[in-house]
Structure 1
Amino acid sequence: MLAETVLAGLLLASGAAAAATPGVVIQKCSNPGMLALAYDDGPYQYTSQLVDILDQAGAKGTFFWTGTLYGCIYNQAAAVKKAYASGHQIASHTWTHPYLGQLSESQIRTEMTKVEDALVNLIGKKPAYMRPPYLDTSGAVLPTLKAMGYKVITDDIDTGDWNHNTPAQSEALFTQAGPGGNGHIPLMHEVYNTTVHELTPWLINWAKQNNLKLVTVAECLGDAGGMYQPGNFTPNGQTTCS
Structure 2
Amino acid sequence: MFTSLALILLASLGAINASPIALTPRQGGVQVINNCYQSGQVALTFDDGPYNYEQDVANALNGGKGTFFLNGNNYGCIYDKVDQIRSLHEQSHTLGSHTWSHADLTKLDEGGIHQELEKVEQAFIRILGLKPLYFRPPYGSYNDLVLKVLSDRGYKKLFLWSEDTGDANGESVGYSEGVLDGVANSYPSPHMVLSHSTIQTTSSDVLPNSVWKIQQAGYQLVAVDTCLGDSGEWPYEYVGEPGQPDGSWTCY
- TM above 0.5, yes or no, is yes
Q: Which amino acid aligns with 2:200?
A: N
Q: What's the counterpart of residue 163 of structure 1?
A: 169
* TM-score of the two chains, using structure 2 as the length reference: 0.81
Q: How does 1:202-241 map to 2 (within 5 A)?
A: 202-222=209-229, 225-232=233-240, 235=243, 238-241=248-251
Q: Which of the two has higher C-alpha Rg? A: 2
Q: How does 1:45-64 map to 2 (within 5 A)?
A: 45-54=52-61, 57-64=62-69
Residue 126 of structure 2 corresponds to residue 121 of structure 1: yes
Q: Structure 1: which 5+ residue stretches go unaligned?
A: 1-19
The 1:48/1:173 distance shift into structure 2, 3 A limit, reads closer
The 1:102/1:181 distance shift into structure 2, 3 A limit, reads farther
The 1:138/1:224 distance shift into structure 2, 3 A limit, reads closer
Of 159, 168, 187, which aligns to 1:153?
159
Of 87, 92, 100, which aligns to 1:95?
100
Q: CA deviation at 1:206?
A: 1.9
Q: What's the counterpart of residue 172 of structure 1?
A: 178
Distance 2:232 2:94 in 1: 9
Distance 1:234 1:181 in 2: 39
Q: CA deviation at 1:114?
A: 0.6
1:135-190, Cα deviation, whole Å (9 max, x unpaired) = 00125111221222221001110111111111211121233354346421111111
Q: CA deviation at 1:53?
A: 2.8
Distance 1:200 1:224 in 2: 25
Q: What's the counterpart of residue 140 of structure 1?
A: 145
The 1:173/1:234 distance shift into structure 2, 3 A limit, reads closer
Q: What's the counterpart of residue 9 of structure 1?
A: none
Q: Secondary structure, in 3 states, of the residue corresponding to 1:185?
A: strand
Q: Which amino acid aligns with 2:193?
A: P
Q: What's the counterpart of residue 38 of structure 2?
A: 31
Distance 1:235 1:102 in 2: 33
Q: Which amino acid aligns with 2:66?
A: G
Tell whether the 8 Å contact from 1:179 to 1:212 is kept in structure 2 after alignment.
no
* Percent of matched pairs sharing the same residue: 35
Q: Structure 2: which 5+ residue stretches go unaligned?
A: 1-26
Superposed CA RMSD in Å reads 2.1
Q: What's the counterpart of residue 22 of structure 2?
A: none
Q: CA deviation at 1:21?
A: 6.6
Q: How does 1:102-117 map to 2 (within 5 A)?
A: 102-117=107-122
Q: CA deviation at 1:127?
A: 1.0
Count of matched residue positions in the alignment of Structure 1 and Structure 2: 221
